[in-house]
């Protein structure tokens, strides 16, 4: 029987990063993945394919809506070739997942393909596709089994017309009308893909705003911008049934007044969150405690109730984000090596890759108000930037929230072109506990979208924005 210092179950961004860091720190490491490709949800059916389709559909939208104004005439009709678009996306995924295999080889990590389940606290059975089972021994085990799409109890996902994100990433036709249940990250990103490609897209959201976890000003600005793109929104609507009749999906929902509203569409994307995935793991055999939702319970060291078993990523509490899972993978590896790593969960940024992009880190205004913190606000609109006018991406703003007494930056909320990349500046600043004045005194290249960060910081330090 093969024996390891560490066995990682699951090869998503949590699992594969944990494995690499363990190997870097000199531990003999194995990784177990039930699918034939590595990379988990993120690389196979999440972050990477969704961004590939967002980019392709963005190019198409630019071509049909903006090229003419830029002085680019294309003779003949510009058409979507969905088959090629999906094939390109798959090419990007394949290249990326092969990259993880390369990294495993480079770091001398043994990869086992099959379903990993606990035999006991130091042994994992690996059930392979050919039906055979192999058992490995490990001093330490990291559970990184991720998450799966959640649904509503009365919805039957048929994977054809009533679908989750996984199917939405490989549709064979452009829907005529796609109903999206859930105005969160998946609903908006994939809803925008199909809207750009020509579908009518209607979002039904239970709460009174989209992207409800983010600062309310971002929800409002994003919805305004997406409405300009002709996406439709039904907020404060409680979906009560989803049924399929032939190629039609009928959705009923109760609106704010309690009246029933009926929607019909040819596709319904259910995007109401994700749930931790521990099916088949046989956690009981090792004595690992799960909560009612199947989430693995961990302490601040991400250690389960069994001292040599740890858990990371979507399968434990906290934001379901790839970069959060990666930090946790590193934390566990370094803990096992005797180091004292730390994660500041307040500084894990959140990003929505719609256009305009949305990005945030730290506290929202709602959170600061609730905590009774006295704060000041500096906000700067993208439309006042030369760079934004040059590219015609003028929607959005950067908002900095700083402590009213100390000027320490407490939260940064952005919407606009390329803010997914800009947010890194805010994370860096907050990691070093910068004040708004610190940011305002840093030189920002001109012309860039980043100038909005400097201007918002100037605004926060006493209404000193220069270009408005």
| Residues with active-site annotation | 446
What is the separation of C-alpha 363 from the centre of its chain, rounded to a whole number of angstroms? 18
Chain contacts with ligand NAI (rule: CB under 6 A)? 152, 181-187, 189, 204-207, 212, 239, 271-274, 319-321, 351-353
Q: Which residues, other chains included, contact 238 with Cβ-Cβ below 8 Å and sequence gap of 6+?
A: 206, 253, 254
Q: Per CB under 6 A, does 89 bind ligand FAD?
A: no
CA 464 to mean position of chain CA atoms:
35
Q: Considering the complex, state which of residue 323 and residue 444 has its C-beta at the smaller distance from ligand FAD.
A: 323
* Cβ neighbours of residue 220 closer than 8 Å, sequence gap 6 or more: 209
The piece of 57-65, 140-148, 287-295, 453-461 that touches ligand FAD (CB under 6 A) is: 140-148
**Nearest approach, Cβ of residue 439 and ligand NAI (Å):** 24
Residues with Cβ within 8 Å of 258's Cβ and at least 6 positions away in sequence, in order, are none
Provide the minimum distance between the beta carbon of 293 and ligand FAD in the complex, in angstroms, as a whole number: 15
Helix, strand and coil percent figures for the chain, each rounded to 5: 35, 25, 40
Q: Quick check: 381 binds ligand FAD (CB under 6 A)?
A: no
Indicate whether 182 belongs to the interface with ligand FAD (CB under 6 A): no
Q: Which does 14 bind (CB under 5 to 8 A by kind): ligand NAI, ligand FAD, none?
A: ligand FAD
Among 57, 351, 49, residue whose Cα is nearest residue 222: 351
Q: Give the whole-angstrom CA distance, residue 250 versus residue 296.
A: 36
> How far, CA to CA in Å, does 291 sit from each of 76, 250, 300, 304, 316?
58, 34, 16, 12, 10
Count other C-beta atoms under 10 Å from residue 247's C-beta.
10
Q: Find the binding residues for ligand FAD in span 252-281 (CB under 6 A).
A: 277, 280-281
* 193 lies in the binding site for ligand FAD (CB under 6 A): no
Q: Does 29 bind ligand FAD (CB under 6 A)?
A: no
Of the candidates 38, 49, 51, the residue with the CA atom closest to the CA atom of residue 12: 38
Nearer to ligand FAD, 314 or 451 (CB): 314
Q: Which is nearer to ligand FAD, 50 or 440 (CB)?
A: 50
Told to check if 10 binds ligand FAD by CB under 6 A, we report yes
Residue whose CB is less far from ligand NAI, 15 or 182? 182
122 binds ligand FAD (CB under 6 A): no
Q: Between 212 and 229, name the residue whose CB sits nearer to ligand NAI.
A: 212
Of 178, 168, 171, nearest in space to 201 by CA:
178
Residue 41, both tokens: 């949800």
Q: In this chain, which of 23, 42, 53, 179 binds ligand FAD, going by CB under 6 A? A: 42
Instruction: Return residues touching ligand FAD (CB under 6 A).
Output: 9-15, 32-35, 40-42, 46-47, 50, 115-116, 144-147, 165, 186, 277, 280-281, 313-315, 320-323, 325, 353
């Amino acid at each position: 029987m093969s024996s390891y210092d560490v066995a990682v179950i699951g090869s998503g961004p949590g699992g594969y990063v944990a494995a690499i860091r363990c190997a870097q720190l000199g531990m003999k490491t194995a990784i177990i993945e039930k699918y034939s490709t590595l990379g988990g949800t993120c690389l196979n059916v999440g972050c990477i394919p969704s961004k590939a389709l967002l980019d392709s559909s963005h190019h198409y939208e630019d071509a049909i809506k903006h090229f003419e104004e830029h002085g680019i005439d294309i003779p003949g009709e510009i058409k979507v070739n969905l088959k090629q678009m999906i094939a390109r996306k798959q090419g990007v995924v394949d290249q990326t997942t092969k990259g993880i295999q390369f990294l495993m080889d480079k770091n001398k990590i043994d990869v086992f393909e099959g379903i990993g389940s606990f035999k006991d606290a130091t042994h994992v059975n690996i059930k392979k596709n050919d039906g055979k089972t192999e058992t490995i021994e490990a001093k330490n085990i990291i559970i990184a089994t991720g998450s799966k799409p959640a649904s509503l109890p009365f919805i039957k996902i048929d994977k054809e017309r009533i679908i989750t994100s996984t199917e939405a990433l490989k549709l064979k036709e452009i829907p005529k009308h796609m109903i999206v249940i859930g105005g969160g990250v998946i609903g908006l990103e994939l809803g925008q893909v199909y809207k750009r490609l020509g579908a009518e897209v209607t979002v039904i959201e239970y709460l009174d705003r989209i992207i409800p976890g983010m600062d309310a000003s971002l929800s409002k600005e994003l919805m305004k911008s997406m409405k300009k793109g002709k996406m439709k929104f039904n907020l404060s609507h409680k979906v009560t049934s989803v049924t399929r009749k032939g190629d039609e999906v009928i959705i009923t929902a109760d609106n704010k007044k309690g009246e029933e509203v009926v929607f019909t569409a040819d596709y319904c994307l259910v995007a109401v969150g994700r749930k931790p995935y521990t099916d088949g793991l046989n956690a009981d055999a090792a004595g690992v405690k799960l909560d009612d939702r199947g989430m693995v319970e961990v302490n601040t060291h991400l250690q389960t109730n069994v001292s040599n078993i740890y858990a990371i990523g979507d399968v434990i509490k906290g934001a379901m984000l790839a970069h959060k899972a990666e930090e946790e993978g590193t934390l566990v590896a370094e803990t096992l090596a005797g180091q004292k790593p730390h994660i500041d969960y307040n500084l894990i940024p959140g990003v929505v890759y719609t256009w305009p992009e949305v990005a945030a880190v730290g506290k929202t205004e709602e959170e600061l108000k609730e905590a009774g913190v006295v704060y000041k606000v500096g906000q700067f609109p993208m439309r006042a930037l030369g760079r934004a006018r040059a590219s015609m991406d003028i929607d959005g703003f950067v908002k900095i929230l700083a402590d009213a007494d100390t000027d320490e930056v407490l939260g940064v909320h952005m919407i606009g072109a390329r803010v997914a990349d800009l947010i890194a500046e805010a994370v860096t600043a907050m990691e070093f506990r910068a004040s708004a004045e610190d940011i305002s005194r840093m030189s920002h290249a001109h012309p860039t979208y980043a100038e909005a960060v400097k201007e918002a910081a100037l605004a926060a330090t006493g209404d000193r924005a220069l270009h408005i």
